[in-house]
Structure 1
Amino acid sequence: MVLGYPAPIIVNWKRESPSDDEGVGPAQPGTVSGTLHFLDWAANANNTDDKLTEDDLVLVLDANSVWLQLPPSLVLERYFRINARANYRITQLYDTRVPDLMRQTIIAPAQKACVAPSGSVSNLHCHDMPESTLPTNVYGPLTDYRAMGWKYVRPKYINDGSFMGPSGDMRRLFRRVKDKMNQDMVKPGLNHQVRRHQGIFSQVFGEQEVWRRATGGRYPPEDPAKMTAARDEFEYHVGLDYTQDLFHPTCYAESDGSFIALADEEVAKKESSRRGSSPPRIQIPGDVAKLDNPLAMFGDGFSQARYGSANVPLYTDLWTTSVPVALHHGATRNGLKERRVTWWDKTWYFPYLRMLLDMSIYADGSDPLASFTTGNNTLQVWGYGSTRHPRLPKLFAREEHTEEWVLQDALWNAICASVDAMVEGSSPWYNEVFRDGKGPL
């Protein structure tokens, strides 16, 4: 919210147990079911503020592990740019004379490793994935060699921690994954093996890529039914963020990045050298350089020269030079999941978090998230629920009296507090989030 994103919708709040009447299975399948449930509900909502049309863009994030660091205008610009490049590649690889047969509208993160979750029953299609678009020497002469595990492999495998795409296409994708989970759950002895959904996302993406290559998009015009049936079964318009401009999973890339001010050449040199990437490759991305000073509202003491986006710490991959919109703390080896705590004060907004959050809650929402002009046409992108004030996170939950599903204001003391009452009593959530000794929000 402090970056200007719409107030988030929290699904699956306190819903980690099986619930047959809601179609929600174990914890991980419940993540898929809960997201799909909200997308279906929003598509059919009677209230204009709640309704999502087929083309409305949706950003789905793992609430436990993903941090945003760049504003919504940039995530939108990069989303359109990544898809434009991907769709051009599709026209070069396949027969695209059949409209909408193959295209990319959904972007998922790319990670380095193709590793099945424990006990997975999915075919991950590790050998069927398209090649990364990163340079073939991005990690030097060892690029794509497994001599040191996955360390020098270019990211080209799907990670399920984030997704961005149109509401209609996202519903199709999540429904496909949920259906495959349901099929596995009814197989004798397999129910315990589908607790992780990444394997099924990988299977669905892999099947799409196998189908694309097998057909090349070529179908005789006299057989439209076959074309439509195959497209509906295998084509989900999914592609990966190979350059990690949107999403950067840290799993298998634990030592690739650091929080640095991009304009500080000495720090860039030092951090690059520590990771073996020397001489330093870091440059200030053009879209980051054009961003407005995120702290300008605090007055003359926060000049562009000192507090512009190139002068505040941003997580940066020192090998690929990616400065992602979102950082996904997926690394778990050697206790690295604790970076969600130990790195929190490294974010550029941390020292100003309380003030920024106060301002964002009461922002009037009168400006679009982004505007794009092409020729004589202008596209304005507005946030979901932008007319609601104050701006508060929402819980997708049942209304207590009517039992209808609604969006409810989420109270900070409810969603931020530790689930352990003793822990919360000794160290309240606001002491950890703000770390300024000033009490609750």
Structure 2
Amino acid sequence: MAHMGERNGLDLGREHGRERQLNVGRARAPHAEEALGGVRFDFGIGLDYNFTTAPATCSAEEDGYFVKMSDTAAIKKLSEKAGVPDGVRVEGVPPELSKSGLEKDRFQDVNWEDQSLYTDFFFGIAPVGIHHNAYIDGLKSWRLKNWWDKMWFYPRLRELVTDTLQSSPDSPRPLARVDDGDKQVLYQADKGARVTNYSPGKDSLPARFDSMEWDEICQKGSRPWYNELFGDDKGPLRV
């Protein structure tokens, strides 16, 4: 009897689950139809099939390194070292950089072919970022420290940070401009609010959010954050 009761309960549970799925399916049907008809097809989700944003480095510790796109000999050598089969897969500067999609006034003097860019030789791309999850032999912490100054923006990082902080909040510069037929799509960053630190209430004092300055946000450990970040011995950041 106990087994029969359990079975009946399971059957009822399955029936209830099927009914819920049918109801949910009906509720979502209009959205599905709109998506298939091209009316609404942007749900804020993208699939990065080629790992052009940030390929993982876990179990792929030797798949990528820094190289100039103009140095074909180095690309060939590093591809062979990484064990890439059937020749070189890197095809040069990423199209989004060669099309000058970034702000022209800030990066117009950058020759991307001569910039040392982190490149994944198996995927054949210079990704937007590096996913530092190569934990074996302590690689993650070592690379975070020893690869920071290899990033293309490192020599001009203080300039870029200062320029960004000095930009007027009323007219933020677009992150990117993308040509779309006869018009141009601008990607804007969200207007950032001041960073705050939560202080819980105590006794008769209410809880509050206190604004934080740059020095409070960025500091970790005893070494000044600007020395850790910029490494240029120019002292504190002045905006």
Q: TM-score range by the shorter chain?
A: 0.5 to 0.7
Aligned counterpart, 1:280: 88
* Runs of 5+ consecutive residues of structure 2 not aligned to the other structure: 1-20, 32-42
The answer to whether the Cα contact below 8 Å between 1:316 and 1:323 also exists between their aligned partners in 2 is yes
Match of 1:381 among 175, 184, 187: 187
State the 1:240 CA deviation.
4.0
SS at match of 1:328: coil
Structure-1 residue corresponding to 2:195:
395
1:353 aligns with 2:157: yes
CA deviations 1:415-439 (Å, max 9, x no partner) are: 2222x4xxx0xx3222222222222
CA contact (8 A) 2:102 2:176 kept: no
Give yes or no for the alignment of 1:336 onto 2:139: yes
1:2-81 equivalence runs, <5 A: none
Residues 61-210 of structure 1 mapped to structure 2, 5 A cutoff: none
Q: Quote the residue 2:27 is aligned against.
A: 228
For 2:219, give the aligned amino acid. Answer: A
Query: How far apart, in 2, do the equivalents of 1:237 and 1:294 lie?
Result: 24
Alpha-carbon deviations, 1:237-291, whole Å to 9, x = none?
8564231111222112111101111122122122212212263221123222222
The whole-number CA distance in structure 1 between the counterparts of 2:166 and 2:50 is 35
User: How big is the shift at 1:331?
Assistant: 1.2
Question: Which of 51, 55, 58 lines up with 1:244 in the alignment?
Answer: 51
Matched position secondary structure for 1:249: coil
Whole-Å Cα distance in 2 between the matches of residues 315 and 252 of structure 1?
A: 17
Post-superposition Cα deviations, 1:16-57, rounded to whole Å, max 9, x if no partner, equal xxxxxxxxxxxxxxxxxxxxxxxxxxxxxxxxxxxxxxxxxx
Cα distance in structure 2, aligned partners of 1:376 and 1:351: 37
Q: Which runs of 5+ in 1 are unaligned?
A: 1-218, 387-392
**CA deviations over 1:94-148 (Å, ceiling 9, x no partner):** xxxxxxxxxxxxxxxxxxxxxxxxxxxxxxxxxxxxxxxxxxxxxxxxxxxxxxx
Residue 334 of structure 1 aligns with an amino acid whose one-letter code is: D
CA–CA separation in structure 1 for the residues paired with 2:199 and 2:236: 27
1:438 maps to which of 227, 234, 238: 234
Considering only CA atoms, is the larger Rg found in Structure 1 or Structure 2? 2
SS at match of 1:315: strand
2: distance between equivalents of 1:230 and 1:297? 46
Match of 1:256 among 55, 63, 80: 63
| Conserved 8 A contact 1:329-1:337 | yes
Contact 1:249 1:328 in 2 (8 A): yes
How far apart, CA to CA, are the structure 2 residues paired with 1:416 and 1:268?
36
Whole-Å Cα distance in 1 between the matches of residues 189 and 194 of structure 2?
A: 14
Q: Supply the distance in 2 between the matched residues of 1:320 and 1:225 (Cα, whole angstroms).
A: 39
Runs of 4+ in 1 over 6 A off after TM superposition: 229-232, 292-296, 399-402
- Which whole-Å CA distance do the structure 1 matches of 2:116 and 2:174 have between them? 26
TM-score normalised according to structure 1 size: 0.38
Q: 1:147 maps to which residue?
A: none
**Rounded Cα–Cα distance in structure 1 between residues aligned with 2:26 and 2:89:** 46
Q: Superposition RMSD on alpha carbons, in Å?
A: 3.6
The Cα of 1:314 is off from its aligned counterpart by: 1.4
Q: Quick one: structure 1 residues 438 and 323, their matched pair in 2 at CA, closer, same or farther if it must change by over 3 Å?
A: same
Deviations 1:283-340 (A, max 9, x none): 1232222226889759xxxx85xx4122211111011112211211111110101210
> Are 2:192 and 1:413 equivalent residues in the alignment?
no
Q: Determine if contact 2:195/2:212 at 8 Å carries over to the other structure.
A: yes
Relative to 1, partners in 2 of residues 1:225 and 1:280: Cα closer, same or farther, differing over 3 Å? closer
Counting matched residue pairs gives: 197
State how far apart, in whole Å, the 1-side matches of 2:135 and 2:150 are.
19
Query: Given residue 281 of structure 1, which amino acid in structure 2 is its aligned partner?
Result: R
- Matched letter for residue 321 of structure 1: G
Question: Taking structure 2 as the reference length, what is the TM-score of the superposition?
Answer: 0.66
Shift, 1:396, TM fit: 5.2
Structure with bigger RCO (C-alpha 8 Å, 6+ apart)? 1
- Letter of the 2:215 counterpart: N
Q: Is 1:323 equivalent to 2:126 in the alignment?
A: yes
Q: Distance in 2 between matches of 1:416 and 1:295?
A: 29
How far does residue 375 in structure 1 lie from its aligned partner after superposition?
5.1
Which whole-Å CA distance do the structure 2 matches of 1:429 and 1:375 have between them?
A: 44
Give the Cα separation in 2 of the matches to 1:403 and 1:334. Answer: 44
Q: Work out whether residues 293 and 309 of structure 1, in 8 Å CA contact, stay in contact via their aligned partners in 2.
A: no
